[in-house]
Structure formats: structure tokens, C-alpha cells
Amino acid sequence: MKIGFIGLGIMGSPMAGHLIKGGHELYLHTRGEVPKVLLEAGGRACASGKEVAANAEIIITMVPDTPDVEAALFAAGGVAEGLTKGKTVVDMSSIALVETKAFARRINELGCDYLDAPVSGGDVGAKNAALSIMVGGTQAAFERVKPVFALMGKNIILVGDNGAGQTCKVANQIVVALTIEAVAEGLLFASKAGADPAKVREALLGGLATSRILDILGERMIKRTFDPGFRIALHQKDLNLALSSARKLGVSLPNTATCQELFNACVAHGGAAWDHSGMVRALEKLANHEIGGK
């Protein structure tokens, strides 16, 4: 297939690379320079989203936030200007539910299909083509794009109509944030009590407390490797979506709010660009103890 890919950051670049390796013809656009590795692999750089859409059958966006998706799709020179009937737009960003449904209607009015297909798995999942992909849209559009998704992920679920993918992703980010907080508290407690946090993590991985977050992010907490990864600022954005939607639904998310406050504390200490495992640093400040410290 001819596939367009817009947004070639920490996640998007390896995802696009898997599609090129899968034999697809890739048309690429991003804010800065298209990564050289993708061009050397056969990807073609485009000057605008319009040019991407004019050349591709399926157009994927993977950008940071709701305004970025809107700009990529509908700004001057954006994807919408290059679409013709029968094409499919797939947004794999994590953005607001209401706007997602509005974007889908606007693309549908142009005679094209729209899938919201946010992902989970972080940079590790993107690099290993092991992402979980949560999709909202029609069955027909999903079946058409599923072989493309299969080159980037392993757990690919059509959750429901447009917006359902984003709803699932918000739920995912709630669970991830609370689990990061739990892992951070557990390792911090163990370290403060005098135990080796690396050994504690190793032991916990064999029991009911095991999780990918304990495995991957717990190791980052212990080794003090807080380069993203998934930036705290982006997780903050997702929890804002969760908390604002919860207010509209009349749902209380007390521990989600606590995690957001811990992220806020990290940002106040210059941590907006830390990996989200850096949440542990806010708890360390409260304990006056660093994991692994004496």
C-alpha cells in the first residue's frame, strides 16, 4: 500500500520504520527533518500533509495533542486538502474524545473513512512492534487497515465506533499512572527500609505484583534513567483528559487526581520532559530519600 505517516517523533519514527520494512511505500512529513534512517530505508519526504494525503491511500497521524491533530488534518496545506474519496485517515495520537468525533465527521463528509487508533506500549513497544492498538471506527475500515496495524502492534482491538479508541486509551493512561505510582511507592518504601530495591523488584516480578511497568519503568527508577520514553508532559495531558471527562460523567477518580498532582510536582522541578517513571522523584522529595540512596 501507499501509506502516509505524519509525526515522526519517539513513537512515530519506529512505527513508520516497521511499515517500510513490511513492504509499504511510505510518504512522510514531520515538524522538523524526516529522520535520515527512514529516507535511507526508502521513505519519501513530503513538504506538507496535503502532499502526503495526495499520494497515500491510508494516512496516519501520530502527533502530541488535540490541536496538533487538528492542524495536521485541517490547517492550510493539511491532510484534508489532499484527500480524495475512498481514502482512510488513521489518528494514532492520544487526544480528546469530543474533538475526535468531530474530526471523524469532517473526514467522513469528504468521502473518507476515519479511525481513532491510539496506542499503548511506549517507546519500547514502538521499537519492538509490540504496541497495543485501541481502535474506534467502522468494521470495514478496521479490516482494511488491520494488516497495517499488525506491523506495528500485537494486541489490536476494535473497541467500538469513532471515539471508542480514545476512550480506551484514557482508561489505559489512568491504569498506567496509578501503577507507576504504586511501583514508585513500593520501591521507595523498600529502599528507605534498607532493602536493595533492585532485589526487591526482582522478587516482585515473580509474584502477583508483576507488571510491565514494574519490569520496565521500575528498572528506570532504580537506574535513574529518566530520558523519555513517554514524557511526563504527555501523560499530564492524558490525565487532564481523564479528569475533565470524569467531571462531565459524574465519576470520581481520586487516585488519578493524586497522580496528576505528583506529575505537577515533577514539572515544577523541571521534569516536564522526564520519562513518566520520573513520578518517583516527587515521592522521593516527600520522603527525603532517593531510591538506592543511603
In 3D space, the residue among 118, 275, 120 whose CA is nearest the CA of residue 212 turns out to be 120
Tell me which residue of 171, 123, 6 sits closest to 74, measured CA to CA.
6
pLDDT in tens, 237-281: 999 999 999 999 999 999 999 999 999 999 999 999 999 999 999
Q: Is the dihedral of CA 30, 31, 33, 36 positive or negative?
A: negative
Place 155 in a pLDDT band, splitting at 50, 70 and 90. very high
Give the pLDDT confidence score for residue 289 in this predicted structure: 97
Angle, CA of 53, 57 and 61, to the nearest 5°? 55
What pLDDT score does 172 carry? 96
Q: Are 281 and 222 in contact (CB under 8 A)?
A: no
pLDDT at residue 122 tops 70: yes
Give phi and psi for 197, each to the nearest 5. Answer: -65, -30
Sign of CA dihedral 86, 87, 93, 95: negative
What are 20-32's pLDDT values in tens digits? 999 999 999 999 9
* Catalytic residue set: 169
Indicate the pTM of the whole model. 0.92
Average pLDDT over residues 27-38: 97
pLDDT tens for each residue of 72-88: 999 999 999 999 999 99
Work out the pLDDT band at 294, boundaries 50, 70, 90: low
